[in-house]
Each structure stands twice: as structure tokens, then as C-alpha cells.
Amino acid sequence: MKKLIQLWKFLTRRFILFLLCFVLPILIGWFMYEIFSASIPKNLPIGFVDLDNTTTSADVRFSINASPTMYIHTYYTSIAQAKQDLATAKIYALAIIPRNFQQDIYLGKGACIALYYNAQFVLIGKALNSAFAQVIGTLNAQQSVAHNLIADQDMKLALSKAMPIFSQIIPLYNANNNYAQFLLTLLLPCMLQILSALAMVQLLKNRPYSFKSLFIRYIGNSCVFLIWGICMLLFLKNLGYELRGSLGLLIMGLTILMLGINGVVVFLQSILLDIKKSIGVIAVYTAPSLAFAGVTYPQNSMNLIALIWSKFLPISSFMELYVQQANYGGSVSGAMHILLQMCIFLIFFVLGSIIYTQRKTQ
């Protein structure tokens, strides 16, 4: 208890370190959760141009508003009128019903509904594209069933003619397309990696003159963020996200992740001996974690430079372990292989310790 009190006094005297270790993990974690708590994009505003004004175009309008993904925010009389709102993201898409829409359907000529959407917002664009495709598919089925029902006077026969092939598409590992599950499981570990690295730099602000002093700072900082990491895993599990594998293996991965990233910091600081330069280098090193971790962009599609950078980040191996254990319930042998790969980062602490020792004797 005396040691804990001394540690608490030590941290409270260093405001930035206290902020990094105890305040920012909660604030940033809460902020990220609040951003993605809706789980999936809903009620995205779009524009609507109806150049036909018939009962069929009214059905299209009703189907769009019935979709949980989008709703008609503004009605326009022309494309030019909607151009500015689309460019400023007041609306994310514009649906256009052409003239003679109903007439072309009744004559069997085929009718076209245009959808212009802002593909700059990749997530929103994909959600709107998928939702609009479902709306068009439903309308096509309704029209086909109606025509066949007039000819056959039998609902089952009319339905089988309208849709001769039924698809059975079964989503695995995040069946609800929950974007929070997809992003939080990556953002929170990346946040912990960056905060742990910055806290380690702060601990090395005063140069350690013994291996014991260096080791205590290294292990102490790693333990603090390991505890936050375990809280993160329990939080994700409490949200109902998959955890088909071993929680113990994930905790082992978190332990090596924190020891590895802190070891890299020790190595860099032992060379630079300048906190400002070290923070700059660590920022460059850890900031691209989100892009190179292999979740938002697959590693097998990266070029050689990106792949090397990805492998040089301990978070990449941890995310591989997390996906294997949480989503797939992978084997212990596969997990151990990843953990052994992560152990390479522990070498940096050994090298940093040697450099500090050599400089002490000089």
C-alpha cells in the first residue's frame, strides 16, 4: 500500500503523465463509443427529383422513405437546383425519376431511376448504394408479380415467375453489419498503443541512470495500459461482440503489445535523448496504425513498403490475433505463432537498456 501511495503521488505531481495514464483512456474511449454507438448509418438525407409525378413515382418515393438507411430530405424540381446541396453534403445523394417513367413501365420499355451520390464519403456511399439497390429490387419484384398475377391468377405461380432464383446470402462474423463492432475493435487498441507510447516518453523525460530505474518505469507503464486493455476487452464483450476464442490468449497478446511498444520507445529515447524528437518520431511511427493494422485495408492488397510498415507495428500482429480469436475462435497453435512473432518487439527494450548502460559508463 505504501508503494501504491508513492506511485499515486508521483503521477499526480506530473499532470501530463496522469492525464495520459488515467484520464485520456476514459475520455477518448467514451468519445469513440459515442460516435459509433448508432452501430449502422440510419436516416441519411437524400434529395428527390420527380419529373413524372405519377402513382408509380409516388410508390418509389414511399419505398425510399420506408428504408431505414435513408429518407427524402428535400424535393427539387431539377438536378441543377440540387447540385449545391449535394456538393456541401446537405444531402448525400439525389434520386431522379425521369419523365414518362410510369408509361415506360406499362409499355414494357424499361424505366431508369438515377441515383447520384457522394462517393467521397465511402461508408455513406456504400450504405446508400446498398439501400437503393434493395429498394429497386423490391420495386422490380412487385411490378413483375403484378404483371404475372394478371396473366396467371395465381400468387405462387406469379411469384415464382417473377423471382425464379432466390438468393441465400448468409453474413458471418458481424451479421448485422455493425460499424461500431468493426471500428471500435480497432480504434481502441490503436488508442492504447499511442497513449502507452506517449506515457513511456514522459517517464523517460528524466534520464534513468540504472537498469533498475529503467525497468521499473518500463514495467509500471506497461502494467497500467495492460489493465486498460483488459478493461477494453471486457467492455467489448459486454457490448455483445463476438469472443469465440480464448480471453487468456488475448490478454497475453495485450501484454506483449504493451511491452513491445514501450520497448520501441525505450530504444528510440536511448538513441535520441530528446523528448521532443522522440515524441515526433513516435507520432510518425504510431499515427498510421489505423491504416496499416490490416483491418480497414487488407494486408494482402498492400504494396511492399506498406506491408513492411504494417509488420513493423506491434498493433498489426495484435489485431491479427484479435480477429483470429474473437471472430473465428482460432486454434491455440495459430495464436502462439502470432504471439511469438510479437515477441520480436521485446528485443527493442533489451537494445535500449544496453545503450543506456553504455552511455552511463561513458
297 and 192, same structural domain?
yes
Q: What is the pLDDT of residue 151?
A: 61
Identify the CATH number of the domain in which residue 98 sits: 3.40.1710.10
Q: What is the pLDDT of residue 328?
A: 87
Instruction: Give the least confident one: 72-81, 166-175, 204-213, 303-312.
Output: 166-175
Give residue-wise pLDDT tens across range 252-278.
999 999 999 999 999 999 998 888 898
Q: How sure is the predictor about 165, in pLDDT bands with cuts at 50, 70 and 90?
A: low
338 and 193, same structural domain?
yes
283 and 148, same structural domain?
no
Helical (H) or strand (E) element with 75: strand 70-76
Give residue-wise pLDDT tens across range 179-230.
888 889 999 999 999 999 999 999 998 888 889 889 989 999 999 999 999 9
What span, in angstroms and rounded, lies between the C-alpha atoms of 334 and 58?
A: 56
What span, in angstroms and rounded, lies between the C-alpha atoms of 43 and 51?
A: 24
Radius of gyration, CA atoms only, the chain: 28
Q: What is the pLDDT of residue 306?
A: 79
228 occurs within a structural domain: yes
Question: Which range has highest mean pLDDT (4-18, 23-37, 155-169)?
Answer: 23-37
Maximum pairwise Cα distance, the chain: 97
**Percent of the chain at pLDDT above 70?**
88
Q: What mean pLDDT is predicted for residues 321-348?
A: 93
Q: What is the pLDDT of residue 168?
A: 65
58 and 138, same structural domain?
yes
Q: Apex CA 131: angle with CA 130 and CA 132, to 5°?
A: 95
197 and 331, same structural domain?
yes
What span, in angstroms and rounded, lies between the C-alpha atoms of 125 and 127?
A: 5
Q: Is the pLDDT of residue 7 over 70?
A: no
Label the pairing between strands 93-97 and 114-117.
Answer: antiparallel
Tell me which residue has cell 440540387.
Answer: 82
Q: 356 versus 349: which is more confidently predicted? A: 349
* Ramachandran assignment for 273, one of left (phi > 0), alpha (psi -120 to 50 degrees), beta (any other): left
What span, in angstroms and rounded, lies between the C-alpha atoms of 121 and 129?
A: 12
Q: What is the pLDDT of residue 270?
A: 92
Instruction: Give the least confident one: 103-117, 320-334, 345-359.
Output: 103-117
Give residue-wise pLDDT tens across range 278-314.
899 998 888 888 888 877 777 777 778 878 888 889 9
Q: Where are the alpha helices (DSSP H) in the chain?
A: 2-12, 15-18, 24-36, 55-66, 79-87, 101-106, 122-152, 155-162, 179-203, 211-238, 247-272, 275-286, 289-292, 304-311, 314-322, 332-342, 347-361
What span, in angstroms and rounded, lies between the C-alpha atoms of 28 and 192?
A: 10
Instruction: Determine the structural domain holding residue 299 and report its residue range.
Output: 9-37+179-361
129 occurs within a structural domain: yes
Q: What are the distances in angstroms from CA 82 to CA 7, 44, 77, 88, 324?
A: 61, 16, 8, 10, 46
- Please state, rounded to an integer, the average pLDDT across all residues of the chain: 85
- Beta-carbon count within 10 A of 9 CB: 9
Number of domains into which the chain is organized = 2
Q: What is the pLDDT of residue 314?
A: 92
320 and 228, same structural domain?
yes
The structure's pTM equals: 0.80
Q: How sure is the predictor about 150, in pLDDT bands with cuts at 50, 70 and 90?
A: low
Q: Which of 104, 133, 162 is the last residue of a domain?
A: 162
What span, in angstroms and rounded, lies between the C-alpha atoms of 69 and 43?
A: 5
